[in-house]
């Protein structure tokens, strides 16, 4: 091969080599690069990722709805404040928060020409919001209340003078209360209908009068006589049945308000609500009248729950027992139950129909007999508790029945709304729901739907609203100035006799906690009726049978007959777990999630054991700890007369006296005739007046014709809580002698400063 050929061959080989290298390079660059490893989230199945995104979307929606709701609530309160500033004589109106004056004496001689609000860290807008925020209470159609007249006088039942005679505080017209309803009365709208209802303020706004000045106490105990109010309201409606002319005028006034389309619709509701009120009065009959400043709220809440969980089978069984006992004939029984629509769980309409049949077929005596077989006697009236520091408590109510941790506050408030005529549209529905699962019902249908008018959203806001409320301070510009020297001596006596149970707190400390100090009934010695009813009352479990609830001793299976405390706990949980029927589907769900999450997560009170001298709950006695009463800090105690849990002592001074011995009971004023120097708690005194006694620190209890409080009646005992009244030996061996009169006055002077 020639040199040229060799060179050419070499070139060709080199070219081929380059072409091969280029081709290889091209092949290498055409291979896609290796993908980076997938993250844990990317390796999840597609439906996992969709579910997670939906969950996050729901969280964002709930958070957005929560923020907008809070903005709306703040705007509502703020606009109330703005409106109060610019309406009419703005300064006076804003200071009085819409309070009306009563410049003519009532039946007790009370009158006042001005209203003063004490510094409790609530603005005028805060007070008005508290007065006028509905909790879902539906006593009767709103137009009925506005049109109803008193049978004897023909004047409107809702007139200021009439309602003030029951202890309800009159108001002027404001933006949030255009009809000038008294404090605690409100218009509630449920499923398109308007009702008259009660707010928290009806039972928890106080007032004391001194020389023509009224001191309005936000969160203080009400002075109302709700028992007589409901009885007389029922009587006014019953009177329309017997007076055709009065009924025609009533129907005409209701139709003129424009919410009813026909006289027949008015007549139908008139029958239904008259029957409901008549049954309520009958079921809650008490041999001991409550009078002013008191109510057996728990007894009435218990009975409302028992009424609405009752099944048709249980009504039949109670009636059959009456037949066996000779209180009813078989023919009467057949006529009563003939209406049966085939549903064992009664809807609201079926309950109304059954109630109508019972009223038609049973005599009043037979109705009472039936009532006693189903319900419990509401015979334990107690003073309305004052609300300041309530969100800071570990346990609340006189016997510490409610733990304030977790969802406890909402459950407590839901029970209260049930008791003041929340509409309970409980019914049996096919299948299951999220609410039924949360409330502990079976995963198999059917389930009980706890739809109601109870406004859980507002109940949460009301509880939050109370966090800023502080107890009132003795107003030395209105009442006599405090004697500083007496108060100093009294402070030493307080440390010796009182501080072990009644811890002193700083009312303005945002981190304050109120520990309920429980004392056994046999130790405290006060009237045991309320505490014993809470543990001993039982009722038919109705459609709650075979469900579970909690107690201090562990889970409780609800038998055919169960403790009413357990039934109430189950019912309130179920109501809270059920979204509001008063809103559209989306708004309902978002508010429901917000309320439950916020209430649970934002509650600074955590579960804790009770403190004090009490019998602990056990598996054998799961409600044993309720057989006790609690003490609490006494800040603001001066504004909360009458005293003891059942209101059986009119003043703080008389609380430091012993109960009169048997041979001296009945002497008015508590004086022992044979020994003028001996003083005792009065066993008879008048209740009703709001006129304040600054020396004894209580309300006027004699010299007028009011409600006679008789401490001899069941539930009214003024015995017990003898601290400072008898000789005591302390655990460390020290002996405390009974207080002298001067020492009692010293101690009372110090209590004014708390």
- 294-295 and 382-383 strand pairing: antiparallel
Same domain (yes/no): 618, 748:
no
- The mean pLDDT of the chain is 87
CA torsion sign for 122, 125, 131, 135 is negative
- The residue written with tokens 């919410």 in the block is 259
Assess whether pLDDT exceeds 90 at residue 142: yes
Where in the sequence is the domain holding 70, given as residue range(s)?
50-86
Q: How confident is the model at residue 358 (pLDDT cuts 50, 70, 90)?
A: confident
Considering 378, 413, 440, which residue would you say is the last residue of a domain? 378
Verify that 467 and 587 share a domain, yes or no: yes
- Do residues 354 and 396 share a domain? no
**Lowest-pLDDT range, 36-45, 503-512, 592-601, 622-631?**
36-45
Number of neighbouring beta carbons within 10 Å of residue 627 = 20
401 and 466 in a common domain: yes
Residue where one domain finishes, among candidates 62, 86, 110: 86
Is the domain of 418 the same as that of 521? yes
Same structural domain for residues 606 and 649? no
Average pLDDT over residues 717-746: 90
Q: Where is average pLDDT lowest: 62-76, 377-391, 678-692?
A: 62-76
Q: 117 in a domain, yes or no? A: no
Which of the pair, 266 or 444, is modelled with greater confidence?
266
Mean of the pLDDT values across residues 258-284?
A: 95
Residue with tokens 């039949």: 316
In a domain, 499, yes or no: no
Give the tokens for residue 524. 């405290």
Q: Which of 175-184, 197-206, 402-411 has the lowest average pLDDT?
A: 402-411
What's the pLDDT at 145? 98
Domain match, 417 and 464 both: yes
- Write down the number of H helices and E strands in the chain: 25, 25
Instruction: Tell me if 110 is assigned to some domain.
Output: no
Integer Cα distance of 657 and 677 in angstroms: 12
User: Does the pLDDT at position 672 exceed 50?
Assistant: no
Domain boundary among 355, 378, 401: 378
The percent of residues in the chain predicted with pLDDT above 70, rounded, is 86
Question: Count of CB atoms within 10 A of residue 251's CB?
Answer: 20
Question: What confidence score (pLDDT) does residue 413 get?
Answer: 93
Residue 96 has pLDDT above 80, yes or no: no
Is 277 part of a structural domain of the chain? no
What is this structure's pTM?
0.87
Mean pLDDT in residue range 85-90: 38
Average pLDDT over residues 329-349: 77
Is residue 359 one of the residues assigned to a domain?
yes
Q: What is the DSSP string of 57-103?
A: HHHHHHHHHHHHHHHHHHHHHHHHHHHHHHSSSHHHHHHHTTBPPB-
Give yes or no for residue 6 having a pLDDT over 60: no
Q: How many domains does the chain have?
A: 4
Asked if residues 721 and 524 have their Cβ atoms less than 8 Å apart, the reply is: yes
Q: Name the band, by pLDDT with cuts 50, 70 and 90, for residue 86.
A: very low
Q: Is residue 460 part of a domain?
A: yes
What per-residue confidence (pLDDT) applies to 337?
A: 74
Asked if the structure places residue 369 within a domain, the reply is yes
Least confident piece of the model among 223-237, 342-356, 404-418: 342-356
Give the pLDDT band (50/70/90) at residue 752.
Answer: very high
Q: Is residue 278 part of a domain?
A: no
% of the chain beyond a pLDDT of 90: 69
Do 543 and 440 fall within a single domain? yes
Section 41-63 average pLDDT: 69
Alpha carbons within 13 A on the beta-carbon side of 487:
12
Q: What is the mean pLDDT of residues 235-247?
A: 95
Same domain? 362 vs 463? no
The least confident of 54-63, 376-385, 390-399 is: 54-63
Contact 606, 513 (CB under 8 A): no
Q: Based on the domain organization, do 346 and 468 belong to the same domain?
A: no
Q: What is the pLDDT of residue 537?
A: 96
Q: Assess whether 615 and 524 both reside in one domain.
A: yes
What average pLDDT does the segment 700-729 reach?
94
Q: Is the pLDDT of residue 671 over 70?
A: no
Mean pLDDT of 314-325: 91
Residues 444 and 586 in one domain: yes
Strands 561-563 and 447-452: unpaired
């Amino acid at each position: 091969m020639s040199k040229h050929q060799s060179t050419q061959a070499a070139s060709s080989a080199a070219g081929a080599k380059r072409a091969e290298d280029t081709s290889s390079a091209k092949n290498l660059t055409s291979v896609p690069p290796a993908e980076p490893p997938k993250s844990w989230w990317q390796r999840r199945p597609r439906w996992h990722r969709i579910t997670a995104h939906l969950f996050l979307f729901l969280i964002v929606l709930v958070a957005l709805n929560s923020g907008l709701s809070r903005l709306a609530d703040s705007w509502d309160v703020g606009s109330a404040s703005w409106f109060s500033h610019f309406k009419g004589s703005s300064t006076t109106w804003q200071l009085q928060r819409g309070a009306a004056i009563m410049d003519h004496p009532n039946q007790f001689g009370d009158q006042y020409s001005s209203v003063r609000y004490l510094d409790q860290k609530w603005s005028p807008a805060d007070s008005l919001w508290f007065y006028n925020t509905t909790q879902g209470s539906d006593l009767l159609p709103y137009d009925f209340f506005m049109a109803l007249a008193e049978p004897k006088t023909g004047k409107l039942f809702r007139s200021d003078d009439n309602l003030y005679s029951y202890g309800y505080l009159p108001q002027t017209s404001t933006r949030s209360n255009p009809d000038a309803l008294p404090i605690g009365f409100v218009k509630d709208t449920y499923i398109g209908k308007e009702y008259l209802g009660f707010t928290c303020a009806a039972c928890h706004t106080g007032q004391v009068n001194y020389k023509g000045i009224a001191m309005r106490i936000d969160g203080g105990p009400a002075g109302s006589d709700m028992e007589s109010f409901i009885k007389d309201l029922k009587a006014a409606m019953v009177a329309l049945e017997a007076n055709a002319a009065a009924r025609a005028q009533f129907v005409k006034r209701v139709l003129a308000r424009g919410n009813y389309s026909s006289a027949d619709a008015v007549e139908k509701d008139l029958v239904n609500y008259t029957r409901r009120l008549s049954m309520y009065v009958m079921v809650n009959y008490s041999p001991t009248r409550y009078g002013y400043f008191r109510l057996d709220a728990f007894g009435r809440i218990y009975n409302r729950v028992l009424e609405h969980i009752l099944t048709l089978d249980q009504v039949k069984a109670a009636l059959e027992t009456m037949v066996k006992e000779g209180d009813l004939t078989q023919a009467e029984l057949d006529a009563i139950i003939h209406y049966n629509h085939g549903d064992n769980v009664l809807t609201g309409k079926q309950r109304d129909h059954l109630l109508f049949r019972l009223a038609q077929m049973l005599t009043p005596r037979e109705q009472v007999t039936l009532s006693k077989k189903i319900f419990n006697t509401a015979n334990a009236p107690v003073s309305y508790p004052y609300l300041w520091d309530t969100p800071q408590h570990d346990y609340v109510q006189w016997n510490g029945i409610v733990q304030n941790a977790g969802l406890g506050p909402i459950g407590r408030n839901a029970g209260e709304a049930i008791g003041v005529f929340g509409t309970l549209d409980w019914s049996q529905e096919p299948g299951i729901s999220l609410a039924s699962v949360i409330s502990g019902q079976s995963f198999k249908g059917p389930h009980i739907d706890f739809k109601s008018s109870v406004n859980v959203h507002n109940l949460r806001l009301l509880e939050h609203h109370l966090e800023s409320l502080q107890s009132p301070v003795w107003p030395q510009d209105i009442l006599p100035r405090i004697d500083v020297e007496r108060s100093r001596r009294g402070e030493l006596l307080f440390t010796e006799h009182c501080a072990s149970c009644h811890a002193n707190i700083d009312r303005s400390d945002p981190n304050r906690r109120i520990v309920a100090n429980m004392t056994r009934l046999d130790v405290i010695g006060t009237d045991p009726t309320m505490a014993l009813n809470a543990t001993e009352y039982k009722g038919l479990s109705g459609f709650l049978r075979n469900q579970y609830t909690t107690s201090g001793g562990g889970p409780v299976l609800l038998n055919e007959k169960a403790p009413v405390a357990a039934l109430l706990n189950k019912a309130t949980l179920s109501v809270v777990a059920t979204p509001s029927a008063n809103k559209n589907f989306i708004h309902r769900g978002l508010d429901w999630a917000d309320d439950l999450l916020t209430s649970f997560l934002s509650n600074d009170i955590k579960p804790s054991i009770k403190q004090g001298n009490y019998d602990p709950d056990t598996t054998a006695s799961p409600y044993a700890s309720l057989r006790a009463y609690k003490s609490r800090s006494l800040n603001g105690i001066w504004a909360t007369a009458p005293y003891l849990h059942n209101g059986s002592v009119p003043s703080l001074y008389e609380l430091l006296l012993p109960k009169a011995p048997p041979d001296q009971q009945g002497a008015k004023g508590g004086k022992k005739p044979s020994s003028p120097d001996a003083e005792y708690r009065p066993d008879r005194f008048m209740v009703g007046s709001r006129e304040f006694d600054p020396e004894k620190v209580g309300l006027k209890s004699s010299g007028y014709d009011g409600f006679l409080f008789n401490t001899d009646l069941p539930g009214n005992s003024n015995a017990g809580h003898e601290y400072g009244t008898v000789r005591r030996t302390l655990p460390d061996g020290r002996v405390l002698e009974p207080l002298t009169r001067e020492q009692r006055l010293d101690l009372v002077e110090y209590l004014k400063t708390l």
